[in-house]
Structure 1
Amino acid sequence: MSVIKPERIKQLETDVKMNFQLGQEHKKVDKSHERFTMTVPSNSASNTYEWLGEMPGVNEWVGPRKLGNVQMFAYEVHNKSWEASVQVTEMEVMNNQLAGKYLNAQKLGQTIESHPAKLSFLALASGHLNTCYDGQNFFDTEHPVFANNDGTGAVTKVSNNDEGDDPDALAWFLLDTTDIIQPIVFQPRTSVRFMTNGRTDESEAFFMEKVIKFGADYYGNVGYGLWCKAYRSTKPLTAENIEKAYVEMTNWKANGGENLGVAPDLLVIPSLMKFDAAKILKSKFIDGTDNTLYDLLEVLESPKLNNVPK
């Protein structure tokens, strides 16, 4: 005969789920990645982003319509499964030792809701190691730009990765988030799901382990948008280096030579650079003279960038 009444188990499941949902709604859930990502839902095992090529420009209609050819790239992002779990033992239920488990359930909800932010910042931080739609790493020194707008002709190699001399230096990022396509793509296949294995005396899991398991999962991944929306630097965060990155980005050209119209508006930094960024971008005057970079950029800091791939 059961030592724990079924209604007690049902109430436990309700309480754990309620605490999980409280964690999902907690003010410390990290949604800061939404500032530089775009959400593209997925309905299969992966998404192929063929729309990430250059779009044809608008021409004056004189004579026959000019049929611009879009340079297409096959860039595929495969979805992955992500999960987080917590368990409650039979003795913890019997002895009413559940306060800590409820806190764990809240933390579980907060953690899995913050996971897209973790993935997005990691994608940004490791962009110099991962390829994007043009076959180069997202942050690279050899992005090809062609002389003709159909992707033919002479190639000019463009860099959006500025490496400093210190191999251990942390990176900072200058982004253009003003357009439809954002630097990072968040690709959800499913929403977060809460589950439990339940508990019956006939359950093999309960018989073998005497535990009731609760967990959450979702299916999805992150990928890269247009490389021209982002610039990475491991040089010191100074006014001179920010200005250099800004000018380079605004001068980038599309295939065929037309200016891309890149408009950097967001500086993403490790939280360790917070005070340096404030001095550069939030001071009206520097050494008694007008600061030309004052309020030029919004600053987004994250501790997730304090320890990143090299």
Structure 2
Amino acid sequence: MIVNQQALRGIFTGFKTIFAKAFDETKPLYDRVATVVPSVTGEENYKWLGTIPMMREWIGDRQIKSLTASDYTIKNKDFEVTVGVPRNDIEDDRVGLYTPAIQSLGQSAALHPDELVFVLLPGGFTNKCYDGLPFFSDAHKVGKKTFSNKGTAKLSPESYAAARAAIMSVTDEHGKPLKIVPDLLVVGPALETEARKILLADQIDGTTNILKGTAEPLVVPDLAGNDSMWFLLCTKKPIKPLIYQERQKPKFVSLTNETDENVFMRKEFLYGADSRGNSGYAFWQMAYGSDGTAQ
């Protein structure tokens, strides 16, 4: 193949099509647990976190529900993935060899939000949320009450039921129930069998399983290595427990001009994708986490 700008434009178009197809066909999991929030600047401040408005009987003047100032900020980061194609392979019509690599670029770009979002769950035992405490903590203050969304019990029907009750018992600062009902049990591969048994089995140890259908199991490969941890979430509210902040969707780009350093010095054409964004915590009230360390 004669390497000129026309040929390179054709290669770019072909690679971009392959990238887009792989991206679209890949199904990530992050949007099951995180609200996607568009970002328009380098960072976003979530001052509105901390207050969940509730309806009341209208007697007298309206009671203005001021949003608690939490000063919780998520800063966007830059991300990229790049592959190099030697000029010789283009001259020798070996471009087709790179189809799997470009497909992998598309899959990697599509799944990257999973990496950003699901790392928040095991990190939630130490990383702070809007109230200045770890996302999973036994000392969350709401009005005069203190609530815990943190456990140490291993996953079992009993610990699952306790976690479910803890989430549904959370109230606002006036003691009014928030009506939060968990619907998703998130585990790594090591706890898949136990999670499915609790939520899908008709019987457990010969006894009717009264917990069947109370939530859906979600097995997340990104949680591999955190084998004893498990997380119960409410994902049916307008705001989910976690946030994926999207500044720029993955964009396919290239560096193929003859005067580019990579081409001139190394005879290599570069193709890749880049994006901007980050992740963070929303309402701790909608999540319960256990590190499973109890003996």
TM-score, normalised via structure 1 length? 0.68
Encode CA deviations 1:272-297: one digit per residue, 9 max, x unaligned: 21111122221112233211111111
8 A contact 1:270–1:306 mirrored in 2 = yes
Residue in structure 2 matched with residue 79 of structure 1 by the alignment: 76
CA distance in structure 2 between the partners assigned to 1:157 and 1:62 by the alignment:
29
Distance 1:58 1:15, change over 3 A: closer
Offset at residue 301 of structure 1 (A): 0.5
Distance 1:32 1:91 in 2: 39
Contact preservation (8 Å) 1:130, 1:137? yes
Residue in 2 that maps onto 1:158: 147
- For the residues of structure 1 that align with 2:28 and 2:103, how far apart are their CA atoms? 17
Summarize deviations over 1:54-96 as a string: whole Å, max 9, x none: 2454333333333444322111111111111111111111222
Match of 1:120 among 109, 117, 123: 117
| Residues 187-206 of structure 1: CA deviation (Å, up to 9, x unaligned) | xxxxxxxxxxxxxxxxxxxx
Cross-structure match for 2:100: 103
Residue pair 1:52, 1:72 contacting (<8 A) in 2 also: yes
Does residue 46 of the first structure (1) align with residue 35 of the second (2)? Answer: no
Q: Equivalences for 1:219-230 in 2 at 5 Å?
A: none
Where relative contact order (Cα < 8 A, 6+ residues apart) is larger, the structure is 2
Distance of 1:121 and 1:270 partners within structure 2: 10
Q: Is the 8 A contact 2:138 2:150 kept in 1?
A: yes
State the match for 1:23 in structure 2: 22
What's the C-alpha RMSD, in Å, of the aligned pairs?
A: 2.1
Pairing of 1:250-261 with structure 2 (within 5 A): 250-261=168-179
1:5-30 deviation digits (Å, cap 9, x = unpaired): 4332222222221221121122xx23
| Alignment length (residue pairs) | 228
How far apart, in 2, do the equivalents of 1:128 and 1:307 lie? 16
> How many Å apart are 1:113 and its aligned residue?
1.2
Aligned to 1:246: 164
Query: Which residue identity is paired with 1:54?
Result: T
Aligned residues of 2:148 and 2:166 also touching (Cα < 8 A): no
Which segments of structure 1 move beyond 4 Å, counting only runs of 4 or more?
A: none
SS at match of 1:249: helix
Which amino acid is 1:91 matched to?
N
Query: SS at the partner of 2:182?
Result: coil
- Structure-2 separation of matches of 1:290 and 1:280: 11
**C-alpha distance in structure 1 between counterparts of 2:209 and 2:52, whole Å:** 37
SS in 2 for 1:244: helix
Taking structure 1 as reference, are residues 271 and 257 closer, same or farther at Cα in structure 2, changes over 3 Å only? same
1:216 counterpart residue number: none
Query: 1:22–1:55: structure 2 CA closer, same or farther, 3 Å change rule?
Result: closer
Verify: 1:143 aligned to 2:140, yes or no.
yes
Q: TM-score, normalised by structure 2?
A: 0.71
Structure 2 runs not aligned, ≥5 long: 230-290
Which amino acid in 1 is paired with 2:17?
A: M
**Structure 1 residue 3, shift from structure 2 partner:** 6.0
Task: Answer yes or no: is 1:279 the counterpart of 2:197.
Answer: yes
Instruction: Answer whether contact 2:114 2:222 (CA < 8 A) is retained.
Output: no
Aligned to 1:14: 13
Work out whether residues 49 and 67 of structure 2, in 8 Å CA contact, stay in contact via their aligned partners in 1: no
| TM-aligned CA distance change 1:6 to 1:240, over 3 Å | same
Q: Is the 8 A contact 1:30 1:117 kept in 2?
A: no
